[in-house]
Amino acid sequence: MKKKSKALWLIPGLIVLFYLLLHVINLVKLPVFADESIYIRWTQLIIDDWQRYLFFSLNDGKTPLFIWLLLPFQFIFQNQLFAGRILAVIIGLIQMFIVKKIIKAWKLKKRYQYLGMLLVCCLPFWYFHHRMALMDGLLTLWASLIILFTHSLIVNFKNKKIAMKSILFNGLALGAGLLTKLPMLLLVPTLFLPIVFSLKKIKRADKLKLLIYQSFSLLIGGVMFVALKLHPAFSQLFSRGSDFLYPWQEIVFNQAWQQTMGNIPTYLNYFIQYLTWPILLLSIFSLFGQHKKMSLALHLSWLGYALPIFIMGRMVYPRYLFPVSIFITLAAILGIKDLLDKQKVFKLSAICLMLISGFVSGKFIYYSLVNHNKIPFVSADKVQYLTEWSAGYGVKETVELIQTLTPDHSVLVLSEGYFGTLPDGLLMYLHRRDVTNLYITGIGQPIYGFSPEILTLAPEYDQVLLVGNSHRLQLSLAEGKLLLESCRPFNSPCHQVWDITKLVQIN
């Protein structure tokens, strides 16, 4: 029995080791991304003054659970960015086992369970978001748990049991999702679609009972979310929606849908590139296979999540659509099983498709580990993570430069922006370090000059530095001295650090 027990854990153990090697190696090679710097900085503010900042994220339209989960890692690891990203790695590790458990609950063989784990480990969409300190991976984990607990509810009902645990856990997963990110609202249909489409030989009255049970889960999740209303900043949760989505009135009456609908091919290309086209094809094939009702529930779930974003999206980046990954990945497993259960030609087709997907994924992983400038991002992500201000090239190096200056004299750092990559990225790396001779302040962007307040403040310091991106420094720096320059790939703007002590004195 002991040998058999060890054998059961051998393959999952090897997959876990493989996962950790791929995800932890060079985890901070890609420079900090703007949203990461914001989330980690919020966490650090909570550490400094939790009574004031525990719910600070509400002011920016973000629910706080992910920020809270980041807290312990800031104490454990010295590198603040590593501390943030390691949480994503742990979320991904849990995600692998949840996917395994879902496939096991579907009574599929172990090889499909292990394959599901490997897809979560290696597909570009999964891989990338399990190495970034962003909320989307955690949101997707809660969606995965809803799939698992909903299936458990259905199975127990078939066995004439009312699974109170499943109802409770579904509600907790929904509530946790809402406390992670508001788009969890779009995943509410996931509670009900499997009941409507995946049951066989169940009377309508019994389906209705199950839907009522799920309504209790919905109630639990809703209560958890509404509890945030006790905080005065709750109303701010919905203040940022117009930054990313068109109001429905503009969609209906001003025909903004004509513009947004034209972007759908671009959004679908995100899935082709990041989940790979073979996996997408296999997921579609599952609609015609042995588990077509279950597959239909999965596809309707991701469409229910994605279509409102497609139609109302003002600015849609791939990470907003990441939760779609769980539905397409699981549907692809069903499609692979259907092909492998057929004649040899279908088996060979499934194997070839998986090999192609593996090759595409391997290329993405290789460049992530070796040369992040060559990661095959779609154009929207290339801008975010490599070529624009949101990509934190030079931030860590700037902090190291500042730390060499402050031991023997005072330094004032004027930073582009007010939050985000700058100045939050700088402040993030300096948390709980000696900043006796240092003061960092954001001065907005683009930078054309300096306010009277800054010119009054500057003489109080021995040295004044200006930190910003080359295309946003719209002033003459002839009297300044360039101390550091870190240029982004593809001839993109450079992160620069200027000594402007003399320039400020002249002014």
Q: CB-based burial of residue 49 (10 Å sphere; 0-12 exposed, 13-18 middle, 19+ buried)? A: exposed
Does 410 have pLDDT greater than 70?
A: yes
Q: Which of 29-33, 197-201, 444-448 is predicted least confidently? A: 197-201
How many residues are given for the chain? 507
Secondary structure letter of residue 440 according to DSSP: E
Mean pLDDT of the chain: 94
Confidence of residue 245 (pLDDT cuts 50, 70, 90): confident
Is 372 found in the same domain as 250? yes
Does 127 have pLDDT greater than 80?
A: yes
Does 240 have pLDDT greater than 80?
A: no
Query: In this structure, are residues 29 and 369 in contact, taking their beta carbons and an 8 Å threshold?
Result: yes
Asked, for residue 56, whether it belongs to a domain, the answer is no
pLDDT more than 90, % of the chain: 87
Average pLDDT over residues 102-106: 97
Is 318 found in the same domain as 420? no
Instruction: Determine the Cα–Cα distance for residues 61 and 252; give it in Å rounded to an integer.
Output: 25
The pair of three-digit structure tokens given for residue 454, joined into one six-digit string: 């800054």
344: number of Cβ within 10 Å: 7
Q: CB neighbours of 218 closer than 8 A, spacing ≥ 6?
A: 171, 174, 188, 191
What's residue 200's pLDDT?
60
Query: In this structure, are residues 461 and 410 in contact, taking their beta carbons and an 8 Å threshold?
Result: yes
Residue/partner pairs of 221-227 with CB below 8 Å, 24 or more apart: 221/170, 221/171, 221/172, 221/173, 221/174, 221/175, 221/177, 221/178, 222/175, 222/178, 223/175, 224/171, 224/172, 224/174, 224/175, 224/176, 224/178, 224/179, 225/63, 225/175, 225/178, 225/179
Instruction: Determine the Cα–Cα distance for residues 200 and 252; give it in Å rounded to an integer.
Output: 39
Report the range out of 59-73, 185-199, 250-264 with the highest average pLDDT: 59-73
Average pLDDT over residues 102-116: 97
The pair of three-digit structure tokens given for residue 280, joined into one six-digit string: 């997408």
Is 409 found in the same domain as 287? no
Q: Which stretches of 161-257 are assigned E, i.e. beta strand?
A: none
What's residue 33's pLDDT?
98
Is 361 found in the same domain as 286? yes
Asked, for residue 445, whether it belongs to a domain, the answer is yes
Greater confidence (242 vs 109) lies with 109
Does 236 have pLDDT greater than 80?
A: yes
Confidence of residue 87 (pLDDT cuts 50, 70, 90): very high
Task: Name residue 447's beta-bridge partners.
Answer: 473
Q: How many domains does the chain have?
A: 2
What's residue 43's pLDDT?
98
Average pLDDT over residues 453-480: 95
Is 374 found in the same domain as 271? yes
Is 378 found in the same domain as 400? no
What residues make up the domain containing 446? 395-506
Of 327, 357, 383, the residue at which a domain comes to its end is 383
Q: Which of 152-156, 324-328, 448-452, 496-500 is predicted least confidently? A: 152-156
Q: CB neighbours of 334 closer than 8 A, spacing ≥ 6?
A: 283, 286, 289, 290, 291, 294, 295, 298
Asked, for residue 33, whether it belongs to a domain, the answer is no
Residue 422's CATH number: 3.40.190
Is 371 found in the same domain as 444? no
Quick one: residue 276, left, alpha or beta (phi over 0 = left, psi -120 to 50 = alpha)? left
Q: CB-based burial of residue 157 (10 Å sphere; 0-12 exposed, 13-18 middle, 19+ buried)? A: buried
**CA nearest 238: which of 224, 225, 257?**
225
End-to-end C-alpha distance for the chain, whole angstroms:
81
Asked, for residue 42, whether it belongs to a domain, the answer is no
The pair of three-digit structure tokens given for residue 177, joined into one six-digit string: 């999702």
Does 132 have pLDDT greater than 70?
A: yes
Does 3 have pLDDT greater than 60?
A: no
Average pLDDT over residues 21-43: 98
Is 378 found in the same domain as 251? yes
Of 335, 351, 383, the residue at which a domain comes to its end is 383
Is 366 found in the same domain as 317? yes
Asked, for residue 479, whether it belongs to a domain, the answer is yes
Each residue's pLDDT tens digit, 271-313: 999 999 999 999 999 999 999 999 999 999 999 999 999 999 9
Average pLDDT over residues 105-128: 97
Confidence of residue 4 (pLDDT cuts 50, 70, 90): low
Of 383, 415, 434, the residue at which a domain comes to its end is 383
What's residue 437's pLDDT?
97
Q: Which single residue is written with the structure tokens 């991304």?
A: 33
What's residue 256's pLDDT?
80
DSSP line for 260-291: HHTTHHHHHHHHHHHS-HHHHHHHHHGGGSTT
Confidence of residue 247 (pLDDT cuts 50, 70, 90): confident
Query: In this structure, are residues 331 and 286 in contact, taking their beta carbons and an 8 Å threshold?
Result: yes
pLDDT more than 70, % of the chain: 97
Q: Which of 235-249, 350-364, 448-462, 469-483 is predicted least confidently? A: 235-249
Q: Which stretches of 165-306 are assigned E, i.e. beta strand?
A: none
Average pLDDT over residues 439-466: 96
Is 377 found in the same domain as 271? yes
**CA nearest 393: which of 23, 37, 22?**
37
Q: Which of 84-88, 151-155, 335-339 is predicted least confidently? A: 151-155
Is 330 found in the same domain as 362? yes
Secondary structure letter of residue 33 according to DSSP: B
What's residue 199's pLDDT?
59
What's residue 2's pLDDT?
56
Asked, for residue 486, whether it belongs to a domain, the answer is yes
Average pLDDT over residues 36-44: 98
Task: Name residue 245's beta-bridge partners.
Answer: 313
Secondary structure letter of residue 444 according to DSSP: B
Is 367 found in the same domain as 259? yes
Asked, for residue 78, whether it belongs to a domain, the answer is no
81: number of Cβ within 10 Å: 24
Asked, for residue 24, whether it belongs to a domain, the answer is no
Instruction: Determine the Cα–Cα distance for residues 312 and 256; give it in Å rounded to an integer.
Output: 8
